[in-house]
Structure 1
């Protein structure tokens, strides 16, 4: 991968993402916010600054104790396994989408 020659453009919009479910799947207690995570995503519509609210269970008896829960919508914003190569769109697994195998 080549280094960036120009600075990334400023974000044209800012979006805050929060998990839909903030109760623990294992024990049912309300999870607490662990931290904010920042991410910049470039789409065809421009650069978007994402702020992700990351939660975790604070119940010491829970099997998911201190395991983080990230917003479900994060996966819709950025697909990290896709790349463009040799004029076709394919995943990291080599499955061609343009009909060329």
Structure 2
């Protein structure tokens, strides 16, 4: 999150001040309803020396204010599916009812 008072980027922490288990290379991010952040990323699955597939993973994070900071809580994290190694994200769009 961006601290507008100090004009610096801050890492998202949980309410106890510990860093969240974020992936530093997110393939796609989107704001979801009710102040939640969705992060999509892919991890390569290797078979001996060759990458054969990627697992598509998702992290749903609730954002809340704590004093002068923004904190996050991981609500859900998991693998959504597997795709061939040649697949990449082009765009990410949050859609609601």
**TM-score, shorter chain, exceeding 0.5:** no
Larger Rg: 1
What TM-score bracket applies, with the shorter chain setting the length? under 0.3
